[in-house]
Amino acid sequence: KFPTKLRAAIDEEVDPGVVEGTDLRIVKYPHPSLRVPNAEITQEELDDGSISKIAKEMLLVMYAAEGVGLAAPQVGINKRLMVYNESGDRKKWLSEVIMVNPKIVEFSDATDVENEGCLSFPDMNGDVQRSKWIKVEALNLKGKKMKKKFRGWEARIFQHEYDHLDGTVYIDRLTEEGRSSVQPRLDELVADFGEGGAL
């Protein structure tokens, strides 16, 4: 089980609206950015500093929203980039992780079920089954390859953000019962968005 503080972080995410230091905004379901393919990031983009700038601004937005992770499509940028800090605490900046073009190379067969929320799905959450550990490959902001094994809470955050890079959102992983329980809230989000949403 997650420590209470981390569970609270899931439950108490807020919509930060305008965040000082960035023009990025969190897009809400059913914004099309959450469903379209996300492009691999090139070495050229890493070299020119544009991805580093986006990543730093994503962290600003994530902290303002009191979240623990954010994927680029959640701020309307369809690139394979994610940031997270498992503590959710901006003072613990050494725990910040920025991953470019990540991929999961191995999943555990063992799974667990925990309650998740998402900054793009305000005021709702649900139980999601995920692998207990994963092995991951990614690039850092300099284009250097990294390999990591994540367990528990960090593995869950990674899998949640990684799903966004494949156009998958956590409601896609809810049980039929879980989906039914959030459907009224989803209907509200769709109505608020208006024309052109991507379910």
CA distances from 14 to 71, 122, 135 (A): 16, 8, 31
- The label of the residue with tokens 């991951």 reads 136
Q: Where are the beta strands (DSSP E) in 7-120?
A: 69-71, 81-85, 96-107, 111-118
Q: Tell me whether residue 161 is one of the annotated catalytic residues.
A: yes
Under 8 Å between Cβ of 36 and 74:
no
- The label of the residue with tokens 């390999």 reads 147
Determine the 3-state secondary structure of 166 from DSSP: coil
Closest CA to 183 of 165, 197, 199, 196: 199
- The label of the residue with tokens 């605490």 reads 89
Catalytic-role residue among 86, 116, 154, 161:
161
Task: Say if residue 153 is exposed, middle or buried (CB neighbours under 10 Å; 0-12, 13-18, 19+).
Answer: middle
Phi, psi of 116 (to 5 degrees): -125, 150
By annotation, the residues acting in catalysis are 161
